Chain A
Amino acid sequence: MKRFSRVNVLLLLAVLALAVTPLALGLGAGKEPFAGSDALAEQAIVDDHPDYEPWFAPIYEPPSGEVESALFALQAALGAGFLGYYFGVARTRQRQRDAAAEQPRE
């Protein structure tokens, strides 16, 4: 593998390790391990300010955790799909430019 690709793979592995380590070490605690930090903040507000009433409710809420995860997956897929498309186009363009530059002019 070339140096360029090797470094890229290492970068991805480091990200993976950062995400998996807390899970592997079982750092999650409490009623719901690895809950969202936004839910924890909501809880902290409710605990310290029991009289606070959220004055606005979401206009649409996914009916279940499954539907919500589907929508999050859709968001990630759309983004990743476009990124893949972009790199496909950019790489092809770059190759064509290189090929055109190599062609001897008549």
Chain B
Amino acid sequence: MHIAEGYLPPVQAAAWFAVSAPFVVHGSRALVRQVRQDPETKLLLGAAGAFTFVLSALKIPSVTGSCSHPTGTGLGAVLFRPPVMSVLGGIVLLFQAVLLAHGGLSTLGANVFSMAVVGPWVAYGLYALIRRAGGGLDVAVFAAAALGDLATYCVTSAQLALAFPDPSTGFAGALAKFGGIFAVTQLPLAVSEGLLSVLVIRLLTRTSGDDLRRLGVLSRPTDEVRA
């Protein structure tokens, strides 16, 4: 669930565009380079985008009595690095803003920053950390996808708190309020996204071992046996 159309003051909306733009530009270059260097992974790239497409269309009920949807950007960040996901996530957000009145064009910069920049980077950072510490592929992918998802909505809450501080308690009060709406709702959904990402990576180790090896995802002999 993203910041709705028109619900950020113009100056802040513009500022988030300015923050996100370099990530998307850099990401577009990374995407072109990826396709040129390794055309074989084009199909897998499409699959990573499709995963984000499906997950962000699924509005799932949560323990807070409201609904939200996962983002699906963590898996792609693990496979193709975060810059590529800045582009794919941005495309999904644009689609939803233009056709579904979900999110918005004026808030696209802010939403790209939370879902297509911070989410993928948190996911990839955690993944790299866990792998370097000797963690298994499934554990690393689960943590990456779940916490990348959660991080996205923590950023959304902070962005709204910044724009609409509580009249009496200020930024902190507003952060707690929007956090209650977005981040708490997202907890079970983040777990779901983690589980679904693990499912997809398990299937991928079966069908696309060569691609994963070239991308550096399957780097140890134990990864293969596990699958």
Contact = CB atoms under 8 A, between A and B. Distances in A.
Interface residues of B, number: 73
Contact of A59 (B58, B105, B191, B204): B105
A62 B61 contact: no
Overall SS of chain A's interface: helix
B66 A40 contact: yes
Contacts of A28: 61, 65-66
Residue among B52, B62, B189, B204 with the highest chain A CB neighbour number at 10 A: B62
Interface string B175-204: 001100110011011011001101110111
Interface string A23-47: 1000111100111111111101100
The bracket for how many chain A residues form the interface is 35 or more
A55 B106 contact: yes
5 contacts: A4-B202, A11-B202, A27-B63, A37-B67, A55-B9
Interface of A: 4, 7-8, 11-12, 14-15, 18-19, 21-23, 27-30, 33-42, 44-45, 48-49, 52, 54-62, 68, 71-73, 75-76, 78-83, 86-87, 89-91, 93-94
Interface of B: 1-7, 9-10, 43-44, 46-47, 49-68, 95-106, 160, 164, 166-167, 174, 177-178, 181-182, 185-186, 188-189, 191-192, 195-196, 198-200, 202-204, 206-209, 227
